[in-house]
Amino acid sequence: MKHREKPLAEVTLRKYEKPYRLTGRELVKKLCLSIGLLQPANSRDVVVDVFLSLLKAAEPIALPEIEKSVKLSRKQHSLPMTGIASSNVRRQVKRLKDSFIIEKVGKSYRIAENAPLHEVFAERIEKFYLPTIVSRVKEYCEAVERERWKNGTAVSEMQKPDE
């Protein structure tokens, strides 16, 4: 991916049925799917176990404890012990941190501000992160429209700039 094509920010949101009858890991998995941390039909779902370990922790939890919790969770749910390497657990923690859902406190991690998840989502994603992305998309829409009307052609007829 060219440097200029790498997004400054991105978000994926999906709407699923209401969370009736879902509990535990399946409920957290559906949340991960809903906020783009997990792709539909992806069997590499260690992020669910990482997130679950952070949700269950009463206090901030360090990476070694997250790793132990992930292994235990996967064993309890009879899931393959794949994707549990320390490097992958660290990567999943970073993804959760980059998504503004968790934060680092010293050498440990916790749900952002120790707040309820709906508040974390509302304050950090819905009110802060999402508007900046929507605003930039609108800027691109306006730029395309200016280009469209400047040339007097439809967008599909616009020429690519010289590369």
116-149: pLDDT as tens digits: 999 999 999 999 889 999 999 999 999 998 888 7
**pTM for this model (two decimals):** 0.81
Residue 41's pLDDT is what?
A: 84
Residue 50 lies in a domain: yes
Burial of 133 (0-12, 13-18, 19+ CB in 10 A): middle
Residue 79 lies in a domain: yes
Residue 135 lies in a domain: no
What secondary structure, in 3-state letters, does 117-147 show? Answer: HHHHHHHHHHHHHHHHHHHHHHHHHHHHHHH
Residue 137 lies in a domain: no
What's the pLDDT band for 163 if we cut at 50, 70, 90?
Answer: very low
Give me the number of domains the chain comprises: 1
What's the pLDDT band for 160 if we cut at 50, 70, 90?
Answer: low
Q: Which domain holds residue 56?
A: 8-114
Q: Which residues contact 11 (CB under 8 A, 6 or more apart)?
A: 35, 36, 125, 129, 130, 133
Whether the per-residue pLDDT at 151 is higher than 80: the answer is: no
Residue 30 lies in a domain: yes
Residue 156's pLDDT is what?
A: 54
For residue 63, the domain's CATH number is: 1.10.10.10
Residue 20 lies in a domain: yes
Please state at what angle helix 63-76 crosses helix 46-56, rounded to 10 degrees.
Answer: 110
What secondary structure, in 3-state letters, does 3-20 show? Answer: HHHCCCCCCCCCCCCCCC
Residue 8's pLDDT is what?
A: 81
Q: Which residues contact 26 (CB under 8 A, 6 or more apart)?
A: none
Residue 143 lies in a domain: no
Residue 144 lies in a domain: no
Angle at 73 between CA 67 and CA 125, to 5 degrees: 75
Amino acid at 116: P
